[in-house]
Amino acid sequence: MSVPAIDIDGLTKFYGDVRGVEELSLSVSEGELFGFLGPNGAGKSTTIRLLLGLLKPTDGTASVLGVPVDDRAAFLDVLARVGHIPGDPRFYDDVTGRKTLDYFAGLSGDARRDELLDRFPVPLDRPVRAYSRGNRQKLAIVQAFMHDPRVVVMDEPTSGLDPLVQQEFYEFLREERDRGVTVFFSTHILGEVREVCDRVAIIRDGRLVAVEDIDDLLARSGKVVTVQSPDAIDLADFDFPETIDARIEPDGSLRLVTSGNYDALVDALEGYRIDDLEVRETAIEDVFMHFYDEGDGAEDGVAAGDSAAAADEPDETEDDAEPSPADAEESANA
């Protein structure tokens, strides 16, 4: 049996009394596109910093390419085969994009630099301070992949990218997966999880609540039924054992997520006049809301689509901030 590209066992990190992550256990296979899904502050960035050796765990272990992150000497060699895109890529503002890539090339190589720049072009001879948010993100993509890593760890990697570049990046990730590269990335953009991931882990308040194949997760999550009626709808009429979620929308319509018992649903609807009835397959948004109630999702800025504005919000709490520029350089293919 091959060694997992990433193996996490009971990983725990507390900042004093504040929980970053607790008892986190999961494995990511080689050549897998693995999504790590949760709203801002759920513990995604803490997990990534633990995986890169930037934080010392309170308890538990993690390994990348078979090497424990707390084996400092051996893990430095592993980092040469790891790419990293931080949640808020920071480079020296006075340095040009070209010299920035030269610097990272001196650390780990740049065999694929030209190929990546053709695909994700940036103004190389302009200082980074003059870069747009999207160009900074593309520069981060190039530096993370140009040394041809075996594992790439990314924190909100599409932040700031326009929709066309996002789609190009998704296609690139699928190609990398087919080449055997393992990609682990955190996101709160639900649409991109379904777009590119083989499996997804859902984290809530620092604890793992699900790890499943995308198709399996959706298949067992039932259907969404929307009913519009001129009558006042009583939720108690739709309280079946198979009901995953039922709510009255602001316009008075019923939104029901159910995994079956359609006979009971039809019987219940007989008591109402129906203006409109829609039945559709469950979307990833519906699955996510099964683990996060509506209040949590809205409060924490969960994005239902590829919203760059939502992605701009850093995944951090006061105690879970991004690393300093020095730390970012150390982790980005050091």
Place of tokens 């193996």: 7
Quick one: pLDDT at residue 328? Answer: 39
pLDDT < 70 stretches in the chain: 1, 218-221, 283-287, 289-290, 292-334
| pLDDT for 313 | 34
Question: How confident is the model at residue 231, as a pLDDT?
Answer: 95
- pLDDT of res. 280: 84
- C-alpha–C-alpha distance, residues 319 and 145, integer Å: 29
What local confidence, expressed as pLDDT, does residue 219 receive?
Answer: 66
Which 3 state secondary structure label does DSSP give 216? helix
CB 4 within 8 A of CB 61: no
d(CA 97, CA 141): 12
Q: For the chain, which domains are there?
A: 6-217+307-331 (3.40.50.300), 222-281 (3.30.70)
What was the pLDDT predicted at 221?
A: 65
What does the pLDDT read at residue 217? Answer: 73
Our separate counts of H helices and E strands in the chain read 13, 14
CA dist., res. 262 & res. 258, Å (int):
9
Tell me, what's the pLDDT at 330? 43
User: In the prediction, which pLDDT does 54 show?
Assistant: 92
Q: Which residues pair with 223 in a beta bridge?
A: 258, 281
